[in-house]
Amino acid sequence: MDTTYWGKNFGVMLFKDFYTKENLLKYYVKSETNSLYIQGVNELQSKGFRVAAIICDGRRGLLQSFGKIPVQMCQFHQVAIIRRYITKKTKLPAAIELKEFVAMMKMTDKESFEGGLKLWHTKWESFLNERTSNPETGKSHYTHKRLRSAYRSLKTNTEWLFTWYNNMELKMPNTTSAIEGHFADLKNKLRNHNGLTLKRKMKFIDEFLKA
């Protein structure tokens, strides 16, 4: 499940079956909320669908919201989070190492990833704990706050980054790429119809997702 937007106040939240490739449910939304995702899963279950697992992004609080249903956080979304914290222009060896390590996520298993992340943290722990003092206030703060945030994000989300590995019998994907590719195709086709009113745009989206 995922959401895409056209502008700031118009988006489509889509629930897609990975196995059959069928679009099961959609909502037109102004904003993406956890409560709407929960509502969608509940609606599917009420219609008789068995939700074997969920693949979604890492919105705060969403991953823990579905009880005993296995939830896989999209690994591409996690990589994007790290890119936001660590810029392409970074020259910090610790940051460069972490980016290179994260790039290997899709090619490894949970134990190897956890072990590699622990080794990285052990190597750079003193660096991460460096503080910078403000001579005017006498207060200090962590010098490498963004790098610390990147590490904390990986540490927190590891539990959900390898749900596919813990549930191999489900043959579930580790990303939402199937639905994102669908969105990309939809947006490309809509670009050929610039100037549509909102009502006509919704009708176009309805027909596209049905097809």
Find all residues with CB under 8 Å of 165, minimum gap 6, and list them. 109, 110
pLDDT (tens digit per residue) in 168-179: 999 999 999 889
pLDDT at 9 over 80: yes
Token pair belonging to 138: 């006498």
User: DSSP assignment, residue 31?
Assistant: S
pLDDT at 190 over 80: yes
pLDDT of residue 97: 97
The Cα-based distances of 174 to 24, 30, 82, 94, 114 in angstroms read 20, 27, 17, 26, 16
pLDDT of residue 84: 94
pLDDT at 7 over 90: no
Token pair belonging to 75: 């690994």
pLDDT at 130 over 80: yes
Assign domain 1-74+175-211 one CATH number from 3.30.70.980, 3.30.930.10, 1.10.357.10, 3.30.420.10: 3.30.420.10
CB atoms inside a 10 Å sphere around CB 187: 12
Domain boundaries, the chain: 1-74+175-211, 87-158
pLDDT of residue 33: 95
Nearest-angstrom CA–CA distance, 128 and 130: 6
pLDDT of residue 58: 87
For residues 142-149, give the mean pLDDT: 96
Q: Tell me the residue type at 61.
A: G
For residues 85-111, give the mean pLDDT: 94
The Cα-based distances of 116 to 73, 120, 184 in angstroms read 19, 6, 34
- The pair phi, psi for residue 173, each rounded to 5°, is -75, 165
pLDDT (tens digit per residue) in 41-64: 999 999 999 999 999 998 889 999
User: DSSP assignment, residue 174?
Assistant: S
pLDDT of residue 36: 97
pLDDT (tens digit per residue) in 117-127: 999 999 999 99
Nearest-angstrom CA–CA distance, 79 and 54: 19
* Candidate ranges 18-27, 174-183, 194-203; pick with highest mean pLDDT: 18-27
Token pair belonging to 55: 């693949």
- Whether residue 37 contacts residue 62, with contact meaning beta carbons closer than 8 Å, is answered with yes
* Average pLDDT taken over every residue of the chain: 94
CB atoms inside a 10 Å sphere around CB 52: 15
Lowest mean pLDDT among 54-68, 91-105, 193-207: 193-207
Helices (H), the chain: 34-46, 75-85, 93-103, 110-128, 145-161, 163-166, 177-191, 198-210
CA-wise closest residue to 16 among 184, 180, 167, 204: 180
Find all residues with CB under 8 Å of 27, minimum gap 6, and list them. 12, 13, 36, 40
